[in-house]
Chain A
Amino acid sequence: MELGEEVPMREIDGRLKQLWESGDAMTRASLMNFAVYAECPRSLEKNTEVIREVTREHACRALLIAVEPAADTPSVRAWITAHCQLGDGGKKSVCSEQISFLIRGCGNTVVANTIFAHVDSDLPLTLWWQGDFSGNWEPHLFTEIDRLVIDSSDWEEPLAQFDILQSSYGHPASEFSVNDLTWTRVLHLRMALAACFDDPAALALLPKVESMEITCSPGHVMAGRFFAAWAAHRAGWKLAGVAEPGRVFTFDAGGRNLSLTFSEKEAETAVPSVILRGPGLTVSLLQEDGSRFIHGKVETSSSTTERLTPCPCRTPAELVVERLRRGCNTKLYFTLLETVRAMMAG
Chain B
Amino acid sequence: MADTTLLVGDNPFHNISHLSQERTRLKEKNAITPEKAADLISIAIKNGADGFMFSVSETTLSILKKLKEKGQTDELSLHAIVPYAYEYVKLATQVGGISGLARKVGARILVSGSLKGIATGAIGILRMEPFTILKTYLTYEVSRIRSAAGKTMHLECVFLHEVITDLALALNMEWLFKSHIAVSQKLGTSPGFNTCNFPYLMSKLREWNLDSCDISVAAPFNKIGFQMSPSKNECEKTLQSLDKRILVAISIMAAGYLKPREALEYVRALPNVKGIAIGVSSETQAQETFKTAQQIGNSFRSDHLK
Are A and B genuine complex partners? no
Binding site for A on B (CB under 8 A): none
